[in-house]
Amino acid sequence: MPAIKSVVHFSIPVSDIAKSTRFYTDIVGCRHLATVAGGAMAFLDAAGTCLILVEREPPINPRAEDHGGVHHSFAVAHDDYAATLDHLRANGVAITFEEDRQGGVVNGPRAYFHDPDGTVLEFIDLTGYAGTTG
């Protein structure tokens, strides 16, 4: 079996590269690295993991109310968690669900919200991850 070292990148489909780049840098906190392919892809740094925004035709998420558990999660520091949620609200981003899940695989207070295309995102104050115990 391969022994992977890390996740190098993941891609999120978006309908407007410029709009989504602003959202992921100004709201989520990623850092813009480059926009390439005639403006159809943007590379962002998400705390050491590359996030690639890839332009696709809308609708990206045709059933926003039914994401089926598919989302992308970003950890924030414990001391920054409340301010991070305030930052979302101050920028007109609705928090769709909040909970403090403990005793599972991925633990901690978390809040879910949507990007401009309806992709579900999560900020989590990660208090524990079962993958670090083995």
120 or 60: which carries more pLDDT confidence?
Answer: 120
- Which stretch of 30-34, 67-71, 109-113 has the lowest confidence by average pLDDT? 67-71
**For position 133, what pLDDT does the model report?**
59
Cα–Cα distances in Å, from 2 out to 10, 63, 132?
19, 36, 18
**For position 113, what pLDDT does the model report?**
95
User: pTM for the full model?
Assistant: 0.93
17 and 35 in contact (C-beta within 8 Å)?
yes
Q: Assess whether pLDDT exceeds 60 at residue 134.
A: no
Query: Of 112, 86, 90, 88, which Cα lies nearest the Cα of 99?
Result: 112
Question: What pLDDT, in 10s, does the model give residues 51-105?
Answer: 999 999 988 887 777 777 889 999 999 999 999 999 999 999 999 999 999 999 9
Mean pLDDT of 31-49: 97
**Spatial distance between the Cα atoms of 21 and 125, rounded to a whole number of angstroms:** 24
Percent share of the chain, pLDDT over 70: 98
**For position 62, what pLDDT does the model report?**
79
Mean pLDDT of 24-40: 97
**For position 99, what pLDDT does the model report?**
96
